[in-house]
Structure 1
Amino acid sequence: MDNKKIEKRIMVPDNLDVQIDGKRIIMKGPRGQISKDFNDPRFSKRISIERSGNEISIVSDSNEKKIRSLCGTIAAHARNMIGGATSGYKYKMKVFYTHFPITISVKDREVQIRNFVGEKGARTARIIGNAEVSVGKDELEIVGVSIEDVGQTAANIEQACKITKRDRRIFQDGVYLTGKYLETGERIKG
């Protein structure tokens, strides 16, 4: 196998303050601060994260498949962090019910789903990290700087409304993700 140098570069906007401490990236922007540690004992000596001017470089001397994929993963996480610190992320969810009206409330970093398919007890879903959930009549908005926290909170809410032992074609009640956006309103892929 040839031993080529791998280098991934990510452009950093001017309104973003980026600090790199070893394998930890800290970004401060208009929407908030986000940090992530990429230290992995298996690869930490083979990959380095550097900042030069207005770009971040992920560099490795090895051309192994695992190292290449990890460099790409770190670059993708860094791009998501830039998007979160500059624009923020917003996921929209919609409440669907046929007979029993579902009521949703936020209490103590948990989303409570009541009267789901006529159940007496409340189903709960954890809010992850610094994500914030706002509840409308039949819709929810999850907002935050970390796409991972926002996405996992949306997944927790969707999973809390999972119906088992019934035909999903008939029982379609639940809370479903309808859109992924930057807080500026621009729709993101996914």
Structure 2
Amino acid sequence: MSTSQLEKFQDEVEIPDGVTITLNKHMLSFVGPLGKTHKNFRSIPVNIEITDGKVLLKAIGDRKKDYAILHTARSIIRNICEGLIDGYTIKMKVVYAHFPITVKVEGKKILIENFQGERAARITHIVGNTKVIPKGEDVILTGEVWTDITQTAANIELKTKVKNKDHRVFLDGVYAFEKKKGLEK
């Protein structure tokens, strides 16, 4: 392999001001203005080093798959750094035709009550450090880690999926309608 091809299999991420990153074996710990979090890179085959304000990433192999994994790791680190500075917000809308759906939060659980007239509440869990705020017909999810917020939103949508009926007619559910950078109050 030529040196230009080898350079292709390494990348670096600038650490923004206000964010500190520490490496302990495969665990990266992030501390920023909005809080702190950590990410385990044990299952991601990438060599990680931290030197003078940069995170250096090197792929283990030299195949196309290793190149893709390298850039996935870069995106994960970049998104966590941006989230610790700005935060992320997802807005979801509660939609119903006949039975009014209510969304409540109890600890780390989200209760979706009266979905299609059901007596028992549908229960889903909050992932990570995500804050869920029900406001009337809207549900606002905020936090620092993008993957945790989107997984929580996906859990809510999946719990309100209509089964055994025509989904073009029965449109009840909780749906994401806005995703943005920055915290919503």
Determine if the TM-score, normalized by the shorter chain, exceeds 0.5.
yes
C-alpha deviation, 1:184, in angstroms: 4.7
Equivalent AA in structure 2 for residue 168 of structure 1: H
Q: Which runs of 5 or more structure 2 residues have no equivalent in the other structure? A: none
Q: 2:9 aligned with 1:24, yes or no? A: no
Alignment of 1:14 onto 2:13: no
Distance 2:47 2:121 in 1: 47
* Count of residue correspondences: 181
Give deviations 1:20-57, integer Å, cap 9, x for gaps: 223322110001111111123x84xxx42122222211
In angstroms, what is the RMSD of aligned CA positions? 1.8
Query: C-alpha distance in 2, partners of 1:184/1:149?
Result: 15
Please give the per-residue CA displacement for 1:84-109, whole angstroms capped at 9, x wherever unaligned.
21111111100011111111111131
Structure 1 unaligned blocks of 5 or more: 186-190
Task: Assess if the C-alpha contact under 8 Å between 1:94 and 1:176 holds in 2.
Answer: yes
Confirm or deny: 8 A CA contact 2:32 2:84 kept in the other structure: yes
- One-letter code aligned to 1:67: D
Check whether the contact 2:101–2:113 (CA below 8 A) recurs between aligned residues: yes
* Mapping for residues 47-62 of structure 1, pairs under 5 Å: 47-60=46-59, 62=61
In the alignment, which residue of structure 2 is the partner of 1:179?
178
Measured in 1, the distance between the counterparts of 2:42 and 2:117 equals 47
- Identity within the alignment, %: 32
Q: Which moved more, 1:105-114 or 1:134-143?
A: 105-114
**For 1:158 and 1:60, how far apart are their aligned partners in 2?**
35
1:39 is aligned to 2:42: yes
Moved more, 26-35 or 175-184: 175-184
User: Displacement, 1:141?
Assistant: 0.7
Letter in 2 for 1:147: W
